[in-house]
Amino acid sequence: MSSLTLSGNDKLGLISNLATMIAAGIPILETIDSLLEDAKGNTKKILEKVREDLTQGRYLYSSFANFPNVFDKVSVNIIKAAEEAGTLDVTLKDLKELIKKELEFADEIKGALSYPVLIIIVFVIILFLILVVVIPKISVVFLQLGVSLPLPTKVLIYLSNLLTKNTLPVMGIIILFLAGLFFIYKFKKEWFHSILYSLPIVSGLINYIDLIRFSRSMNLLLSSGITITTALEFAEDVVVKKDMVKAIHATRKSILVGKDLSDGFKENKKIFPSIMIKIIEAGEKTGTLETSMQDISDYLNYQITNKLKTLTTLLEPIMLIVIGVMVGGMMLSIFGPMYGLITNIGGR
């Protein structure tokens, strides 16, 4: 059961239905029974386990805790606080909005990356067709006429021969390589992520994503009445970069010795931007820290959305130029020797 997962849309649908029906005054057990009628796949398995736990007198949050891949510590603990305070309907609506924002944010990132990925796929297809269809025919002509070939042309012919004459071994190596990457990602995610997150552009985006998820989670946790130190402890689970986790942990320690949240953030200025610290300071002075966290997430979300738009706008022409130069280089490597051959024949 603990390994079960749900897609973002399925999770949103589950929480949304729970929030709507409980807000309408329907008892939670009756709500679960109603949802089970149309549930399928992992959603049905989760609801069946929830129903079983509820009939045994357990709380909803303790049942959700059985599915760590679906409900993180933040979600579980705000539901726990809501059940204890009798505000489950309100908290589920807030959680629904959080999940909805996360999905919208993920869609923005996917949208920004879709064009570069499409261009790379098109280039790989073009390269494959050139190596498999064009090069073999032309290389025969060059070989028969004994034409002197430049290095780029020799490389293309070598790759073409490797691909056409050793198809099965090459495909086997590619499959093993991809399988190796899959297993590394599955069993060594931290190592894989550490490399990915260290890339210049990616690192900056991940910082923003971590800060947005952190501030949204803190807003929800503090609004649920959870203490700031406990909220920080739970919020450590929603960020992915190790330096961010360490900074949050250090901030929590500073609060335990009597400092303010903003003071803890000031000690980690490389992680937390100055605008974030100033907004938190204002929230602490006015007693509206949870609202300040929402303001921070909105501000950072606006910033990263603009960054993604700018990045996408810059990437499109750059990638087109790069791919154009590479394809043009290949064409030149093919037709250059042919032009030289035709020139020599014409000269004779």
Answer whether 202's CB lies under 8 Å from 267's CB: no
Those residues with Cβ within 8 angstroms of residue 21's Cβ, 6 or more apart along the chain or in another chain: 31, 34, 35
> Which of 278, 309, 308, 307 is closest to 295 using CA atoms?
278
- CATH code at 201-305: 1.20.81.30
Q: Which residue has the tokens 């679906």?
A: 70
- pTM (predicted TM-score): 0.74
- Number of neighbouring beta carbons within 10 Å of residue 282: 15
Domain boundaries, the chain: 1-71, 201-305
Say which CATH superfamily domain 1-71 falls into: Type II secretion system (T2SS), domain F (1.20.81.30)
Per-residue pLDDT of the chain (348 residues; tens, 9 = 90+): 567 888 888 999 999 999 899 988 888 889 998 998 888 888 899 999 999 998 998 888 899 888 888 888 888 888 888 888 888 888 888 888 888 888 887 787 777 777 778 888 888 888 888 888 888 888 877 777 766 777 888 888 888 888 888 878 888 888 888 888 778 777 766 666 666 666 666 777 788 888 988 998 898 888 888 889 999 988 888 888 888 899 999 999 999 988 889 998 988 888 898 999 999 999 998 988 989 998 998 898 888 888 877 877 777 788 888 888 887 887 787 777 776 666 655 555
- Give helix 189-197 / helix 167-187 axis angle, nearest 10°: 100
The span from the CA of 161 to the CA of 166, in Å, is 8
Phi, psi for residue 24 in degrees, rounded to 5: -80, 0
Helix and strand totals (H; E) in the chain: 16, 0
Residue 134 is given by DSSP the state: I
Answer yes or no: same fold for 1-71 and 201-305.
Answer: yes
**How many other C-beta atoms can be found within 10 angstroms of the C-beta atom of residue 42?**
20
Q: Which residue has the tokens 């280089």?
A: 329
